[in-house]
Amino acid sequence: MQTKSAVRQPAVSHPGIGAPPHPDAVLTPDQCAYWLGLKRRQLQRAGVPHVRVSHKIRRYRVRDVLAWLEQRAVPTEVPTQQLGPCVG
């Protein structure tokens, strides 16, 4: 007897394709990992903020994840050639 295995596709778009999830959305670990382009285990290791629904269930609020990403954003450095002369 053969069993069909259902292919689960995340409800969010692939990183870089389409719009990000709505800020009020709540994602499963699989959905959040897919959205960020990470593996599910990396969500925990990276410290992505989550809501613990029970001892086994975590959910990720898009608004919290976006704020977490903003806090970790690295400002780009402007090359010194593009800076104007130093006035002093």
pLDDT tens-digit profile of 59-68? 999 999 999 9
- Asked if residue 15 has pLDDT above 80, the reply is no
For residue 1, being part of any structural domain is answered with no
How far is residue 59's CA from residue 31's CA, in Å, rounded to a whole number?
Answer: 10
Computed over every residue of the chain, the mean pLDDT equals 79
Share of the chain above pLDDT 70, in %: 66
How far is residue 34's CA from residue 83's CA, in Å, rounded to a whole number?
Answer: 39
How far is residue 6's CA from residue 63's CA, in Å, rounded to a whole number?
Answer: 30
**What is the model's pLDDT at position 48?**
95
For residue 85, being part of any structural domain is answered with no
How far is residue 65's CA from residue 46's CA, in Å, rounded to a whole number?
Answer: 11
For residue 63, being part of any structural domain is answered with yes
The residue range of the domain holding 44 is 26-71
- Asked if residue 11 has pLDDT above 60, the reply is no
How many structural domains are present in the chain? 1
The verdict on pTM exceeding 0.85 is: no
**What is the model's pLDDT at position 7?**
47
For residue 3, being part of any structural domain is answered with no
For residue 65, being part of any structural domain is answered with yes
For residue 44, being part of any structural domain is answered with yes
For residue 9, being part of any structural domain is answered with no
64's enclosing H/E stretch is helix 62-71
